[in-house]
Structure 1
Amino acid sequence: MELIDGAIVIGYFTFVLFAALAFKRFTTDSSGFIRGGGAMMWWMAGATAFMTQFSAWTFTGAAAKAYEDGLTVLFIFWGNALGFLVAARYFAARYRKMRVETAMEAIKVRFGRVSEQVYTWLSFPLTIMSAAIWLNGLALFTAAVFNIDLVVTIVGVGLLVTFIAASGGSWTVSATNVIQLILLVAITMSVGAFALLEVGGTVTLIESYPTDSYMGSNMSYWQVFWLWVVMMILKQTMNTNNALSCYRFLVTTNEREAKKRLCLLASYLFWGLSCGLFLHG
């Protein structure tokens, strides 16, 4: 890793910590810690929900798949976009009207205390395992690109994320997510524009499509492809509208704000990720 790379990484972490400490003062009670007191701006809440769709895999594995097979991998992200549109149309306002602070409270109201306890205790090991997998993927990526030891990345990023979340709850997490969104969009658009110029423009990019079929390479049966597409869209739609994921509707000031953030998020996912993955690939 070059000196400038290290300076950028350290500077970014320092800036994120500064933002977290600056927004810590907005958290004054349990409601503010868990759901931002139900007073978060729709664009801020939307940025947080948007950033939760990302991992190191998005710009490594997904971009590689887009490079190899074109459209195929985009159906995963289009499924997310459809899921958020469904949420904006139906679930967001209804969930927001429950006036609960956590997703577990919503489960208790709807299904009873036993379901709440079972769901809560099952979520602990599952979310820890998911976080471990994400950290491992990030560590592998940074090790390959920056030659940083796996343990350093896992422990360092784990401690940083824990500090941000524990110091101010939803407000500090959302503030840092807005910063990440701005950086992500700026970097993606810059790299994308440069890549588009390098390949010779949009027409050349389309003519250089990596396979002869929109289904990708080595696809013997079109029925398998479309079955996968339908199942993936349904799976992602359900994933963005389950009881645990719907916590994101609780942070906004009212039902209208919840719908606005989801429409913004769906447009980001559909156009932003589609262009970003193609250009990175």
Structure 2
Amino acid sequence: MRPLDWAVLAGSLVAVVLYGLWRGRGSDTTQKYLLANRSMPWYAMALSIMATQASAITFISTTGQGYADGMRFVQLYLGLPVAMILICIFVVPRFHRAGVYTAYEYLEQRFDAKTRALASIVFLLLRGLSAGVALSAPAIVLTVIFGWPHQITSLVMSVLVVLYTVSGGIAAVTWTDFLQMLIMTVGLLAALITAIALLPAGVGFGEAL
């Protein structure tokens, strides 16, 4: 890569971590750590949710899946906005009125502690496996770029994410998601414009599709 490429890559990684640490400062109570003191603006929450849904797997794995097996899986993404709207209308208000910190606390109120424990364990197992895959996908790319062993790249990425997540709580996570979603959007637009500009002579955008 060129020096400019290295500067952009390193700068974005450092900026995300430092921004998360800065945004998460002062999260010294349970209310602030888990709920950001209920002070997060709607646009930050919206982009954070979008960034959570659009992980590295979206840009790395699904492109390969689309190339190898077609675009049938896209129907899943078409249903996500509808599901989120329904959740916002029917589920989120219940959590808000209950004054709980997590969905599992609500399950304990609604049912019992055993239900909360079971749901929590299942969630942690599934998300632990999912997080491993989500970290492994970009680690493969960075392993090629840096020339590091895959395990080292995964470890470095994990440490950076855990650093601002543990120190700053939900505020740090939300604002870093917000920043990363902006970076991804700018990158996607730049890639689209570049791809169109580099189309061979006589090949239009419609033909390329």
TM-score of the superposition, structure 1-length normalised?
A: 0.66
Aligned counterpart, 1:195: 195
One-letter code of the match for 2:33?
A: F
Q: Distance in 2 between matches of 1:199 and 1:92?
A: 46
Aligned counterpart, 1:14: 14
Q: Which stretch of the first structure deviates more once superposed, 83-92 or 167-176?
A: 83-92
Aligned counterpart, 2:135: 135
Q: 1:147 to 1:79 in 2, by over 3 A?
A: farther
RMSD (CA atoms): 2.5
What's the % identity of the aligned pairs?
Answer: 21
Q: Distance in 2 between matches of 1:108 and 1:28?
A: 25
Aligned counterpart, 1:54: 54
User: What residue ranges of structure 2 are gaps of 5+ in the alignment?
Assistant: none
One-letter code of the match for 1:157?
A: M
Aligned counterpart, 1:89: 89
Question: Shift of the alpha carbon at 1:189?
Answer: 0.8
One-letter code of the match for 2:5?
A: D
Question: Shift of the alpha carbon at 1:70?
Answer: 6.0
> CA contact under 8 A between 1:26 and 1:171: conserved in structure 2?
no
One-letter code of the match for 2:90?
A: Y
| 1:196-275 matched pairs, under 5 angstroms | 196-199=196-199, 204-209=204-209
Q: Distance in 1 between matches of 2:110 and 2:126?
A: 22
Q: Which stretch of the first structure deviates more once superposed, 67-76 or 40-49?
A: 67-76
Aligned counterpart, 1:181: 181
Q: Which stretch of the first structure deviates more once superposed, 75-84 or 21-30?
A: 21-30
Task: Count residues with an aligned counterpart.
Answer: 208
1:162 and 2:162 are equivalent in the alignment = yes
| 1:33-112 matched pairs, under 5 angstroms | 33-67=33-67, 71-112=71-112
Q: 1:9 to 1:159 in 2, by over 3 A?
A: same
SS at match of 2:56: coil
> CA contact under 8 A between 1:48 and 1:178: conserved in structure 2?
yes
> CA contact under 8 A between 2:105 and 2:116: conserved in structure 1?
yes
> CA contact under 8 A between 1:35 and 1:102: conserved in structure 2?
no
Q: Distance in 2 between matches of 1:26 and 1:146?
A: 35
> CA contact under 8 A between 2:56 and 2:138: conserved in structure 1?
yes
Q: 1:118 to 1:29 in 2, by over 3 A?
A: same
TM-score of the superposition, structure 2-length normalised?
A: 0.86
Question: Shift of the alpha carbon at 1:160?
Answer: 0.7
